[in-house]
């Protein structure tokens, strides 16, 4: 399933087994009530769990620090594309800002504020989120 924004070619791509809405268990993926900023593209692979109250921002505002002109005159919007790989887990209430890659099997702890890419099978938590461990075989 893809959601295409009117007048903008960005896409939220979900594997066929993923649903958005009331949190539910599904044999492959689950997504609770979450907010997805689709300024850029977001791809979510199979077996991804995203719990309630997660907010994903893939854009930011810049240019405000460059002069004392009104923000309206200096504001620039920058965005990225996000790929959440298979078997990733994003805990309740996490905030993800300007991240491009959450690796396969990665875990983001509840309430984390993530601003960096997460390599495969790493566990990140906190505000700001940092690596606190790794998943082992």
Please tell me the distance from the alpha carbon of residue 40 to that of residue 30, in angstroms, as a whole number: 22
Nearest CA to 112 out of 73, 54, 72, 65 is that of 54
Q: Would you state the pLDDT for residue 110?
A: 98
What's the confidence (pLDDT) of residue 3? 44
48 with 26: CB under 8 angstroms? no
Give the whole-angstrom CA distance, residue 99 versus residue 117: 6
List, for residues 8-62, the tens digit of each pLDDT value: 444 455 555 454 544 444 457 788 888 888 778 888 888 899 998 999 988 887 8
- Residue appearing with tokens 């958005």: 20
Pick the CATH number of 2-134 from 3.40.47.10, 2.160.10.10, 3.30.450.80, 3.40.50.970: 2.160.10.10
The percentage of residues in the chain with a pLDDT greater than 70, rounded to a whole number, is 80
Contact (CB, 8 A) for 56 and 35: yes
Regarding predicted confidence, which is higher, 118 or 40? 118
pLDDT at 13: 56
Domain positions in the chain are 2-134
- Of 59, 56, 64, 65, the residue nearest 31 (C-alpha): 56
Burial group, residue 118, by CB count within 10 angstroms (0-12, 13-18, 19+): buried
Predicted TM-score (pTM) of this structure: 0.78
pLDDT at residue 20 in the model: 52
């Amino acid at each position: 399933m893809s959601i295409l924004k009117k007048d903008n070619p960005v896409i939220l791509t979900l594997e066929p087994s993923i649903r958005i809405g009331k949190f539910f268990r599904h044999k492959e993926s689950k997504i609770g009530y979450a907010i997805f900023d689709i300024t850029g593209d977001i791809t979510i692979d199979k077996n991804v769990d995203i719990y309630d109250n997660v907010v994903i921002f893939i854009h930011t505002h810049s240019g405000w620090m460059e002069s004392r002109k009104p923000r309206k005159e200096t504001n620039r919007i920058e965005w990225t594309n996000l790929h959440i790989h298979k078997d990733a887990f994003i805990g309740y209430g996490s905030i993800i800002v300007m991240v491009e890659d959450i690796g396969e099997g990665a875990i983001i702890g509840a309430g984390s504020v993530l601003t960096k890419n997460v390599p495969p099978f790493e566990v990140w938590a906190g505000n700001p989120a940092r690596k606190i461990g790794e998943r082992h075989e």
